[in-house]
Chains A and B, each alone.
Chain A
């Protein structure tokens, strides 16, 4: 028997400011004991749908039911809801947050100790009982948020993008916890931008621009891609240029780089893509292939940003160098003895769990933090003696949206072009070009703070590259952004690299790490592995691992070495 714990029937929701239809006649069912995935590009209406199900919004049309009653009037004590921002009180400790939500949801006093013990064990937060929630790392906050939503075993669990900004290790743990709960009979709705998570759900609802475009098991959608996916080997050095040309072909709808190889999706019925000098093999279709296909395929291979970019003159010196970079805050070492050297025209990835020291390393190289020891060079400028010059020759895109939310898109572009010293016709031209290339025309006069995340990130990238710097620093540029926009970003990045730009990037998306020429894995402030994506996979000592498997294996090996020492 199918036990539907929540449902929406023909739900439409409109917002007045800006005038949009967030949801358009959407039907959805959440069934007890199953993981239901809610996926879709940024701004598709996922959060609106979850808020409707949580009874925090009134639908304009249609009906939303939860636990057999209208969602706005149902028994909220049996609904677990974790909003995107967790809803934790940062000035309360772990245990105080738990107690608060336990009381709010009416957990009986005699069940409390056993329940807390289980949740704290489950989330591995027992050691941090008395720590303030504000002092927890991102991954731990996420787990505490989940524990608060679960404090009284709910019948319906609503999770709004629980994986955003969380490293692969924490994400896997979180997934495993929720999966276990769903097997106990809880109906779970898991909204996500990570398609590997969606692929593991029992059923998936795919939203795009407020409309439901697929409902059913993810496998059914993936199957439609059978015979359309291929791996191409042997491109090595010129894989970026090859991908660019391939993506512009009519028979290719989508393509990505996977280490040294390429992965392509072709049109239905098209023959395997034959490319001189490359060997083509069929590949197993993935949910992401189907997702991108449903949304009309990925962007073309040519980056108009790169086309209008000045060529960066070649040179022998490394574009970015870190020589024993170390940063200490009091007794705490945030980054310890980091070494790497990035030649001009390469992509270098910094990977690692939350709080490992990636951003600290990043900030030292940008000249935003003074290293406690060691030194670095950016475009030939010494970070200790020529910080201002180093900064002028780099473009920086921060992890959080760091533009002026109260300024319009045009005002932001205008401001940043001025900051970077552009004047007159060059300035006007740079602004118009950015608006055009990054599809910002619709938002040009609206406050940038109110745009969907994907557009914010586009604007942030536009501002970072306005002065055409030879070096780009991108700190989680695609966090929370859907696959289509991510492909667009990587098309730009690849194009820029072909022009000679050097890119340093951090990311939690392992498929994005595959684009990197080389990767440094940072863990507990130390560099535990450096190499090409394929080298790291080999180092992990697993049989044909994904980069994510390798990432986790290397971190576990480091933990074992640490315990042994």
Chain B
């Protein structure tokens, strides 16, 4: 009902910016928190496994057994602690000092010599399934490559008929940091987009300024726009800081273009801001708004976006739930733009979905922000 007016619009933008600048907590959330998160995910949380401590029990003194034990000692995956019997090393497994036990049994040398193939025993700590799988698989790997080496030395069978050569593209070292740091950027933008925005309108209601503002000619559309723009810019600013830190402090590769990154980030901020506006317009209370924002935006972005946990390994109902988490559509293009490059064919569907979510949130927020007190 009230048309757009540049004077009002500029005045509200100035006001909002001044408030952001003067409120130290806004700056803490926008710039200090991202740093904290990046360092946490960059250094503190690592999903890589290197040099797992295991117990190594060599019961056989034959040449093949000692040779295999040496292979374990030289492996880059294991740090073996040798013991004479399983009983000796069992307490260490119970206490968690070692993550598994590899036993080379007494008859190992004899069976090898007889050509019937010899087995080793691998005991793992099933209370940590990931690590247990890792230990089992890599211990078997060590044994298999040792056996291959043995056969080759004796001139038996050359290459096996089929060979699998594994190559990890884009992240050849499988460094989880390369995935986690771009993911952390998604978390930071969720915090700024949704949490901060959720607080701003709720604050106006709580402090009674909403009533005074509504009694002026400003249109509700203008009002919402002046809330969104400063936080949009703040979100992009924070994203830039994060990206620079990711590249220069963590050595994360950046193979895409800054423009692609900007477009992806902007597309995500649309639903994030829309959700924040909707929350604050509906709750009118800062405390409730912050709780709702944490539960509906922050935690899903953390847990259901594929940032920390891979979506394909989630139970089916939870997988279904991830489809309504906007951050789910941000993580893949963001990781791609960092480690792979500009793949617009991949980006576009995700960008469109994010914008779609944004349109829904904004429509709802606009409906919830009526120029009425009750």
Q: Could you list which residues of chain A lie within 8 angstroms of chain B, going by C-beta atoms?
A: 15, 51, 54-58, 72-73, 75-77, 79, 81-92, 96, 99-106, 148
Contact = CB atoms under 8 A, between A and B. Distances in A.
Interface in B208-237: 208-209, 211-218
B242 to A, nearest CB: 27
Contacts of A104: 8, 11-12, 213, 216-218
A470 B212 CA distance: 45
Q: How large is the interface on B (under 10, 10 to 19, 20 to 34, 35 or more residues)?
A: 20 to 34
24 contacts: A51-B211, A51-B373, A54-B215, A56-B211, A56-B215, A56-B371, A76-B215, A76-B216, A79-B215, A81-B212, A82-B212, A83-B208, A85-B208, A86-B208, A86-B212, A87-B209, A88-B209, A90-B207, A91-B19, A91-B22, A91-B23, A96-B15, A100-B12, A103-B12
A99 B12 CA distance: 10
A99 B11 contact: yes
Nearest to B206: A85
Interface string B345-374: 000000000000000000000000001111
Contacts of B5: 106
Contacts of B213: 87, 104
B2 to A, nearest CB: 8
B215 A103 contact: no
A79 B215 CA distance: 8
Given A56-B373, A91-B22, A103 B211 contact: no
Nearest to B15: A100
B374 A103 contact: no
A106 B208 contact: no
Contacts of B22: 91
B137 to A, nearest CB: 55
A106 B23 contact: no
A105 B373 contact: no
A87 B212 contact: yes
B211 A85 contact: yes
Nearest to B209: A87
Interface of B: 1-2, 5, 7-8, 10-12, 14-15, 18-19, 22-23, 207-209, 211-218, 371-374
A103 B11 contact: yes
B7 A106 contact: yes
Contacts of A75: 217
B8 A96 contact: no
Most chain A CB within a 10 A radius of its CB, from B10, B22, B208, B212: B212
B221 to A, nearest CB: 14
A103 to B, nearest CB: 3
A92 B11 CA distance: 12
Nearest to B9: A103
A51 B371 CA distance: 11
A87 B12 CA distance: 14
A52 to B, nearest CB: 10
Most chain B CB within a 10 A radius of its CB, from A54, A86, A104: A104
Q: What are the nearest 10 A-B pairs in CB distance?
A: A87-B212, A103-B11, A85-B208, A81-B215, A104-B216, A76-B217, A83-B211, A56-B373, A77-B217, A54-B215
Nearest to A160: B211
Given A56-B211, A72-B371, 10 more contacts: A55-B371, A57-B373, A76-B2, A76-B217, A84-B208, A86-B212, A88-B209, A88-B212, A103-B8, A106-B5
B215 A55 contact: yes
B368 to A, nearest CB: 16
Contacts of B215: 54-56, 76, 79, 81, 83, 87
Contact of B211 (A87, A89, A101): A87
B159 to A, nearest CB: 74
Contact of A103 (B2, B7, B23): B7
A81 B210 CA distance: 12
A110 B47 CA distance: 64
Contacts of A72: 371
Contacts of A86: 208, 212
A453 to B, nearest CB: 15
Contact of A73 (B1, B14, B209): B1
A102 B19 CA distance: 18
B374 to A, nearest CB: 6
Given A56-B372, A106-B7, A83 B212 contact: yes
Contacts of A148: 212
Given A104-B11, A106-B7, A92 B18 contact: yes
A58 B11 contact: no
Contacts of B10: 103
A87 B218 CA distance: 15
Nearest to B211: A83
A57 B212 CA distance: 13
B214 A56 contact: yes
A105 B217 contact: yes
Given A58-B372, A106-B5, A106-B7, A92 B217 contact: no
A90 B374 CA distance: 24
Contacts of A83: 208, 211-212, 215
Nearest to B5: A106
B218 to A, nearest CB: 5
A89 B15 CA distance: 9
A111 to B, nearest CB: 13
B371 A89 contact: no
Given A56-B372, A57-B373, A87-B211, A101 B217 contact: no
Given A90-B207, A106-B5, A101 B372 contact: no
A92 B207 CA distance: 13
Nearest to B223: A104
Contacts of A100: 11-12, 14-15
Nearest to A73: B1
A459 B372 CA distance: 31
B216 A105 contact: yes
A404 to B, nearest CB: 15
Nearest to A51: B373
Most chain A CB within a 10 A radius of its CB, from B15, B23, B213, B371: B15
A101 B373 CA distance: 19
